[in-house]
Each structure stands twice: as structure tokens, then as C-alpha cells.
Chains A and B, each alone.
Chain A
Amino acid sequence: MFNDSSKNQRKGSFEGGSNADKSKMPRWASILIFLVVLIGGWQISAMLVGASYILPTPVEVLVRAGELVVTADFWASVGMSVLRIFAGFALGMIIGIILAIIMHSMPRVRSVFAPFIKIIRTTPIVCFILLALLWVSNALIPTFMVALMVMPVAWTNTIEGLDAASERYRDVICAYRITLSTALLKIYMPAISVQLLSAAGVGMGLAWKSGVTAEVLSLPAFAIGTNVYQAKMVLDAPDIFVWTIAIILISLVLEYVIRRISDNVSSERASDTAPATAGANYGVDGPSDGQVSA
């Protein structure tokens, strides 16, 4: 009974939403217009500049892309960059989450170390890369930098989520003497899953920007950033465009995957917490023909 009326309500609101959306342009049309404007503007600009080593035409870039994507070096560079950036992303997320758990459970440690994380978050990445060039092997710098950029994002979202969940569930955890490990795994982690996925989405975007920047400055073997740097050294603008487009495409795909997962978890959580019928929270329960007490 509850599910049916819930579905009807949802259907009603969905139909209302689609009526409101009728005035909006279809998504495919807006993407098509965006691409036409982008490529048209690019073509006109390239024709006006008239020098492919400064601004190549879209056709030149497409031809160069066709030449590059069939080479083993291209895929080795893409694969190694993805691997480095993913490793740094995972490392940053894990360290951020662990530090947040430690600092959440130890307020004194938090008051001492929280400013350090805020300093890391506000310091420009180039400063860290230049220092890392003195301390760490070049091959490790991109992974290290990505971890350093992702960690504060994961820390902030995790600790804010833990603070909110702790405020919400402190009494029940205390009253029922739920152990810390059970509370962490079965209450806190599910409670902050939406914040964690949000951190993953933001962190992934940051990871790509900081990872490729670190590759450009540290020049490890088989890396997108190294290829961008080498193309710039020989004024090979079409190559720079191809690598940049590759970075954008990979970043878009990864952000899309994370957003889909995040949306699924968020909508599942919303349906978990929503009452089955409108006003069910305030309704009186019992047999349908029962007497409601005064």
C-alpha cells in the first residue's frame, strides 16, 4: 500500500518536472551547438593566425591524432599516466580518510594537525613540485603530488561527515554500547558515503590537473605530461592539442563514472530516508479501521 502511493507520488512529480522541462533544449542539441561553436571558432581563429605551429586547424589536429593513437607509445603514455594518477588518487583518499578518522576520535590531535592540512590545501602545487624535485625520484613525483592534492579534500569531507554522523548517532551508539569498529564500519562509513563520493568526484578532477602538471615539470618516462612538454619544446602545436584533448576525454569519462556512482548512492539514500507515504512520519499507525487515540 505504501509503495504504491509512493510510486504514484513520484510519478506525479516526475510528470510535473517533464512538463516544466519542455521549454528546455534537448541535451543532444545543446552538445551539438557547443561543438559547432567550438570547432567553428577554432577553425576561423586558426585561419586568421595562419601558422599551424601556433594554432593548428581542427583537421590538422585530427590527422595528427589519427597518427598518434595507432602508436604503442601513445597508449603506453596514457596507461602509465592513468596508473600514476590513480595510484596518487587512491593514496590521497586513503590517507585523508585515515587521518580524518584519527583526528575525529582524538580532538587534541585534530587541534594540532588540522592547520597543517589547511596549509597543504592552500599552497600552490608548483611549490610542492619544485620541492619534491629535490627530495623524490622523478617517476614518483606525479603520484606523490596527486596524493598531496587529493588528501585534504578527502580529509575535509570525511571529518565533516563524521562530525555530523557523530552528532546524529552519538546517543544510540553510547546507549547500546556499540563498539568503535562496528560503529565505524556499519554506521559512520555508510552515513558519510555521500560525502566520500563527493570528495572522490572533486578529488578526481584535481588529480588530473595536478598529475599532468607534475608530469610536465618532472618528466617521467611514458607520461602524457612529458609528451606535452616535448611537443612544446619543438613547437609541435598539433601534438599539444592531441594530448590535451586526450587529457580532457579521460577526465570526462572518469568524472562521469564517479558522478553516476554518486548519483546512485545519493538517490538510494534519499529513498531510504523518505517516508513511504506523504506525512507518514506524522501519521498514526495501526489497523486501517482502528480507533485513533485522543
Chain B
Amino acid sequence: MRLSNVTRRYGEKTVLAGFSLKIPDNGITAIMGPSGCGKTTIMRLLAQLDQPDEGTVYGVPKNKAVLFEDDQLFPWMDVLGNIMLTCPDEGLAVRMLGWLGLANEIHAKLGQISGGQRRRVAIARALTFPADLLLLDEPTQRLDFATASSVMQLVRQAWADKPVVVITHDHEIAGMCDYLVNLHPDSNGICRLV
């Protein structure tokens, strides 16, 4: 998987200019950097939710599981319903919710659970979707360190032989990953590799 000479502009603002990056075919790659430096733009390009203005994104598999920064859950469904919308295996969905500490909340509405629990529901949805690439945008936000560590271990076990990309601010979470990409905006606010 590769971004080659990619440029992405949003109106007047250029976020990526001639940016290139290779993502390994397996293992967990962490992309780190300060807010607004283009991390989510890279994730959106890899998820093919966004197209580059110039350059090419190569080798992205067809099926991708994406964890969005804002969860993107459906409040009218219960916890299990949110997972089952995209997961073909109910047994796997129930087991995954159990592993994430949500066994007692399977039939709870989203309004009845906390923000951190909702984050774990979104993680469960991403981990149970049959895909060849896992993209996680700030997966451990709203989680304490112990829960975040468990989530990262689960990701490693569930996606051992497939590529995983983790967008994070957290150095300790980045330390649990196999590869690290450090980004920083230059004086014009354009994303550069450190």
C-alpha cells in the first residue's frame, strides 16, 4: 500500500503536497503528529473516502474496516444491532463485545451507555467487519490506559496477518505498534514526514 506524490487541498489550504508513504503489508503502523497535520486526511485517502488532487494511492484492498474519530454509530439501534449491520456472524459479534467488556450492554441503546463504551462498540464494529485493511482513527480516545492496552492487544490478535493503520496522539499507544510514521506540519502548515 503506497501513497505516491499525493497532494490534497481543502479550498485554499494545502494539507499534503507531493507526499509519499509506504504502509507495510502486515503489522500495525502508527501515524503520529500534532492536530491538523494531516493524519486524518491520510486515513481518508487510504479508506478511499477521499481522492487526492494529484498523485496516486496504490494497493488499497477493496474491503476496509474503518474506526472513525466520531464513532459514526446509529443511535436508534442497540449495541448488537450496530455491529450486526456490518458483521455477518452474530456469534463473532457477541464474542467481540464480550472481549471488549460489553457483554452486559449487548441490548442497550446507545443513549444508555457511556462515551467510552460507545467507543468500544465502534471498535467492535471495525474488528468484526470482514476486511483486509483496518484503519483506526484515535482508537483509544475516551479509554483509560488499561482498557486502551487491552484494545491494542485485541487488535494485534484479531488482525495478526493483515495491515493495520492507527492514527494516534498517544506515544504509549504508538509504542505498542510495529512501525511508526511521525508527521509534522512545515512553516506553511503542509504535512511532512519527520
Interface residues of A (CB under 8 A from B): 2-3, 6, 169, 171-172, 174-178, 182, 186-187, 190-191, 193, 269, 271-277, 280-287, 290-293
Contacts and interface: CB of A to CB of B under 8 A. Distances in A.
Given A172-B68, A190-B74, A287 B146 contact: yes
- Chain A interface helix/strand/loop/mixed: helix
Nearest to B172: A293
Contacts of A172: 66, 68, 72
Interface string B169-184: 0101000000000000
A178 B86 contact: yes
A283 B142 contact: yes
A285 B142 contact: yes
A273 B75 contact: yes
B49 A174 contact: yes
Given A187-B74, A276-B111, A293 B170 contact: yes
Interface in B117-149: 117, 119-120, 125, 129, 140, 142-148
A174 B85 CA distance: 13
Contacts of A285: 114-117, 119-120, 142-144, 147
A287 B110 contact: no
A287 B72 CA distance: 24
Query: Which of B116, B125, B140, B172 counts the most chain A CB atoms within 10 A?
Result: B116
A284 B85 contact: no
B49 A171 contact: yes
A291 B144 contact: yes
B184 to A, nearest CB: 21
A290 B113 contact: no
11 contacts: A172-B72, A175-B66, A271-B111, A276-B111, A276-B112, A276-B114, A286-B116, A286-B144, A286-B146, A292-B145, A293-B144
A272 B109 contact: yes
A176 B66 contact: yes
B114 A176 contact: no
Contact of A273 (B65, B72, B110, B120): B110
A131 to B, nearest CB: 42
B86 to A, nearest CB: 4
Contacts of B116: 280, 283-286
Given A175-B68, A293-B144, 16 more contacts: A171-B47, A171-B72, A172-B72, A175-B47, A175-B65, A175-B66, A176-B65, A176-B66, A276-B113, A280-B114, A280-B115, A282-B142, A283-B115, A284-B143, A285-B143, A291-B144
A283 B116 CA distance: 7
B76 A269 contact: yes
Nearest to A176: B86
A271 B85 contact: no
A287 B144 contact: yes
B35 interface: no
Given A171-B68, A175-B49, A272-B75, A290 B110 contact: no
A293 B147 CA distance: 10
Query: Which of A174, A190, A286 counts the most chain B CB atoms within 10 A?
Result: A286
A286 B80 CA distance: 20
